[in-house]
Amino acid sequence: MDSKLIPEVVLNSGHKMPMIGFGTVSVPLPPHHELIPTFINAIKIGYRHFDTAAYYGSEEPLDQAIDQALEQGLIKNRSEIFITTKLWCTEAHPGLVLPALKNSLKRLGLEYVDLYLIHHPVRLRQGVKGTNYNHGDILPFDMKGTWEDMENCANLDLAKSIGLSNFGVKKISEILKYASIPPALVQLESNPSLELNLIHKLALPPLHARFI
């Protein structure tokens, strides 16, 4: 796959995004010594867009893979790679967004990310792990204040573009009412397993089912 042949789309920020990306989520997450060569091989065959997240645990090995790709001459500079990462639910609250992004940037070894997304329209109590939550773990979600902090990340040039993940139409419409920077995109999960669950009307994971 020639990276030059991958189609691009221009986001509302004016920045171009490769329309084919390499996802970095896996459960369980493989050890770093397996992930790093996987990411390097993806770069070798032409991938230039990598999708990661604070929750995935794949930011650090992606950083190491990019460093090695630069050393090997697979890419000439950082700007050749488009990086998407995401704000996890425990930090989805005013005052926590910017520090969360800075922590992601530190793990990624970057000065900025190309796209920063709110992972879910949910706020969880800090310290909560995993995907099974008690009633007390789910806190009120200040969507307006959280989006304002996302806009601040963009204004500080720490995120070239900002957007949403797993948001439904109602919440997207609410954000558009007060956003000074509209979301660049909305990322939604689509895979055969998820679609099969929908067809059979099985319960979706809590974050999908209860908050969209």
Catalytic positions: 56
Helical (H) or strand (E) element with 37: helix 32-44
Return the bridge partners of 115, or none.
Answer: 84, 161
CB 63 within 8 A of CB 108: yes
Query: How far is C-alpha 91 from the chain's CA centre?
Result: 13
E-strand ranges in the chain read 8-10, 16-18, 22-23, 49-51, 82-87, 113-118, 123-124, 138-139, 159-165, 186-187
